Structure 1
Amino acid sequence: MSTVLPPRVTPRRRMPDEALAPVRLTGAQRRTVHMLASLLLDYPDAAWFDRFGELRAHAAGLPPAVAAPLTAFIDRADGAGASAWQRDYVNTFDLKRKCSLYLSYFATGDTRRRGTALVAFLDAYRAAGWEFDAAELPDYLPAVLEFSARSDSEVASALLTAHREGIEVLRAALEGMDSPWALVVRAVTLSLPKVDQRTQERVLALVNEGPPTETVGLSLPMPVFRTKGES
């Protein structure tokens, strides 16, 4: 029976699992994937469009399963107008809660514990011997991916692992919208270890419920980092 009223019940979303199987990559290939994704997930200013030739060349050296989504994204962006692409970027990442590029947002939402999470990111950079020097917040996914690509640090891997739920929720949300940026996040997912069942269940909960609005009883998914020489 058709009705003009919105449905009172809707099916729970299921997280697609075909992208969760990792692709075997060398360390250099993984760093390349993360640097490409870092650049492609950043705001598409005029210089962003000028990099496509170089980025295609780097993607060509990756295994096909990872190269294909990156190349498809570049081809799609290359054929779009800059103004429309920039508008789509803002509408996607700035206006949709489940499409946030700030990793700690998925664990803390807009709550007072967000500040603690951001400090933990800064501690992580410093523990690896790096300083975060950018206009964005330290949990900005393109910045974390650049950190992973440039440092090849276990700390960067730990950050991505600790916030795997957020990455998977972002991927699921983008794929559900048929967003072109889903291709880039899919490539990132393919470069990471396979998620375990517990993580997958937490991802599914976030996919259905979104980032928290209250953090009572919620523990932040952050490892503890110490700088060299600190006991």
Structure 2
Amino acid sequence: MAGFFSAKNRTAEEPTSCPPPEDPFEANLGLGTPADRVVYQVTATLLGYPSDELLRQARGLIDLARATEDQRFIEACGATVEWLVGRDAGSVRGDYVQEFDLSRRHSFHLSYWTDGDTRRRGVALARFKRMYRESGVLTDLHGELPDHLGVVLEFAAQVDAVKGRAALQAYRSSLELLRFALDDAHLPHAGLLAAVCRTLPGASPATREEIHRIAASGPPQETVGLDGYGGVDAGLSANDPRLLPILQNASTGEQP
């Protein structure tokens, strides 16, 4: 597995009837089901770089997926595994880098899709870091930014389902936009994103226009206690391409 988190030391709680908090990361959507956590962990693994380890274990992930009894997820896993192991490893790795590392259209960084300036992006990244820090679990991001989808999914699967699911729902528009982008590119990973979205409250938007209306304002930003984590202070150059908003061209229909 991806292995971002080293231990678990807290227990999530069932949802309460309290009013929703201003900070969407504090929402209590409940633990979800055991099958949801399988979806999160298997998806996190299949979205990772096709290392020798992943290529060796890929087919076994289909067996894990079958435990969910979600036929659409099982089929998406099978198609993604075939994408990974159906060709020589060099070709797979080259395609992965082109599609997911070099292309902005398929960014796995959730706040990339919503935050339109460097300062907001820095605050968003800090909010993810704060979630991991408050969990009390040692986190090694292996060079990834803290909003990387694989990291968030593994957190929800292994560490704190309530907090992880709240973070995913806070960036639901990012998940949906990524799902559309992967589907447009005829990449099987789109089915994995669809399965993740099905574990969260509310139906998936049917069109990009619906998603853009949701995403236009981005998730509410909780900034108390985050001084020193924005922009360059978060270790990010103001020219870092990861800070460019995918949605900046939404109104004109241009592709990033």
Q: CA RMSD in A?
A: 2.9
What residue in structure 2 maps to residue 49 of structure 1? 55
| CA positional deviation for 1:31 | 0.5
Q: Matches of residues 100-139 of structure 1 in structure 2 within 5 Å?
A: 100-109=107-116, 111-134=118-141, 135-139=143-147
Of the candidates 148, 151, 161, which is equivalent to residue 156 of structure 2? Answer: 148
- For residues 204 and 188 of structure 2, the distance between their equivalents in structure 1, rounded to whole angstroms, comes to 27
Q: TM-score, normalised by structure 2?
A: 0.66
| CA positional deviation for 1:183 | 2.6
Q: 1:222 to 1:48 in 2, by over 3 A?
A: farther
Letter in 2 for 1:193: P
Task: Out of 125-134 and 53-62, give the one that drifted further.
Answer: 125-134
Does the 8 Å contact 2:37/2:156 carry over to 1?
A: yes
- For residues 66 and 209 of structure 2, the distance between their equivalents in structure 1, rounded to whole angstroms, comes to 34
Q: Matches of residues 24-63 of structure 1 in structure 2 within 5 Å?
A: 27-63=33-69
Is 1:171 equivalent to 2:179 in the alignment?
Answer: yes
Does the 8 Å contact 2:73/2:192 carry over to 1?
A: no
| CA positional deviation for 1:132 | 3.0
Task: Out of 140-149 and 83-92, give the one that drifted further.
Answer: 83-92
Letter in 1 for 2:124: A
| CA positional deviation for 1:73 | 1.5
Of the candidates 92, 97, 100, which is equivalent to residue 104 of structure 2? Answer: 97
Task: Out of 50-59 and 39-48, give the one that drifted further.
Answer: 50-59
Aligned length: 192
Does the 8 Å contact 2:177/2:208 carry over to 1?
A: no
- For residues 125 and 38 of structure 2, the distance between their equivalents in structure 1, rounded to whole angstroms, comes to 26
Moved over 4 A (4+): 199-202, 222-226
| CA positional deviation for 1:200 | 7.3
| CA positional deviation for 1:107 | 1.2
- For residues 107 and 91 of structure 2, the distance between their equivalents in structure 1, rounded to whole angstroms, comes to 20
Unmatched runs of 5 consecutive residues or more in structure 1: 1-24, 213-217, 227-231
Identity %: 34
- For residues 196 and 185 of structure 1, the distance between their equivalents in structure 2, rounded to whole angstroms, comes to 11
Q: SS in structure 2 opposite 1:159?
A: helix
